[in-house]
Amino acid sequence: MLRLPEYRYHRPTRIAEVQALLAEHGAEARVVAGGTDLIPNMKHRLFEPAHLIGLSAVEELRGVTVDDDVLDIGAATTLDELGRNAEVRRHAPALAEAARHVAGPQIRNRGTIGGNLCLDTRCTYYNQTEFWRTALGFCLKKDGDTCHVTRVGKKCVAAHSADTPPVLMVLDAEVDGVGPSGPWTHAVKDLFVADGIHNTRLEAGDVVTRIRVPISAARRCVYRKLRQRQAVDFPLLTVAVAATRVDGGWSDLRGVVTGLGSRPRWISGWDRIFEGGPLDDEGIDELAQRAWAQCHPLENMIVDPEWRRAMVPVEVTRALKELRAREG
C-alpha cells in the first residue's frame, strides 16, 4: 500500500484566506482542489508538502455564468459539472466534450477545470513509485541530473497530457488568477512553456480563479482524443481545431495538438495553406501533412512514438472533416 506523507490540511472559505496561508507557509504548501493528480503524486513521493490548502469550500471559485458574450467558469468547477452544464454545451460544446473525456466518472466528479489546466506533465520515468525510481535512478524532473528519455541532462521532456487546454487555446480563452503581486490574467495560448519540469508561467503563490471563454455564434470547434482505451487513460494525442463560419466556407482556421511534448503545440503554417473558403479533401490532406511534419513525439510514454506520430495526420483529418460537417 502506498501511504501519503504527513501533512496538515487547511480548509479556507475565501480566496483571501488561501493567499494568506500560501504567504505563511511558502514552499511547504500546495493548493489542492479535487486532488486527483496531486494525491497520487504525493503517494509516489513526487511532492511532499507539509501543508495542503483545500479550495473546495471557496464558493467564489465555483460556477458557470454568461456575462457580456463571455463564458465565465470558476476554476474549482468540477469536470463533471463542466461537461453537463447547459451553457457550456451550448456555447462551447467542444470544451464540454473534452471535460467528459477526462478519465472516468469518479475522477470527473472530483477533478476541476483549474486542476486540468494546471496538470503536471507526465513521463514513463517520472510517474512511478519512489522504490521504482530509486532502482532505475532518479530523473531530471525529480531528484536526478539526467533525462532517461533523451539520455542527457539538459532539458526535461515530460509530456503535457491535459484534455481541456487545447480547446481553450483555439477558442482564445483567458485565465484569471491572484498571486503575491496581485491579480493577473494570461491568455491560455500564452500560459505554457516548453519545460517538462514546470510547463506554465504560473509562479509560486499563484492561484487560478476563473477561466473566460469568448462566445461566438459563428465559431466552431472540434476536439479529438487518442488513447489506449475508450475510458480512464491519459491521452496519447489530442487535437483541437477551430474556425469561423463565413459565407462560402471558413476563415481563421487554427489547430493545436498535445500529448506529444511538454506543452500544447500550435500547428503553424496553416494560414499559408488555407486562406479561407470551403474545406475540400485536398486542402484537408495538405493541412494534416503540415501537422505531421511538425510533430516528433519522444519515448516519454509506453506507446511507440512513431505510431503516435503516424496518428497525428489521421486525427487531424478526422477533426477537420468533422468541422466541415458542422457548416450549419
Residue 194 confidence (pLDDT): 94
Return the residue matching grid coordinates 487554427. 254
Residue 153 confidence (pLDDT): 82
Contact in structure between 148 and 164 (CB atoms under 8 Å)? no
Consecutive 10-residue runs of the chain (328 residues): their mean pLDDT? Answer: 95 98 97 97 97 97 95 98 98 97 95 97 96 95 94 92 97 98 97 96 97 96 92 91 94 96 96 94 98 94 93 98 86
For the entire predicted model, the pTM comes to 0.96
Closest CA to 274 of 300, 241, 305: 241
Residue 107 confidence (pLDDT): 95
Residue 328 confidence (pLDDT): 58
How many angstroms from the chain centroid is the CA of residue 302?
20
CA 211-212-217 angle, 5° bins? 140
DSSP string, 206-263: -EEEEEEEE--TTEEEEEEEE-SSSSSPPPSEEEEEEEEEETTEEEEEEEEEESSSSS
Q: Are strands 29-32 and 51-54 parallel, antiparallel or unpaired?
A: parallel
- Dihedral pair phi/psi, residue 183, rounded to 5°: -65, 150
Residue 228 confidence (pLDDT): 86
Closest CA to 263 of 198, 182, 171: 198
CATH topology of domain 62-118+159-324: 3.30.465
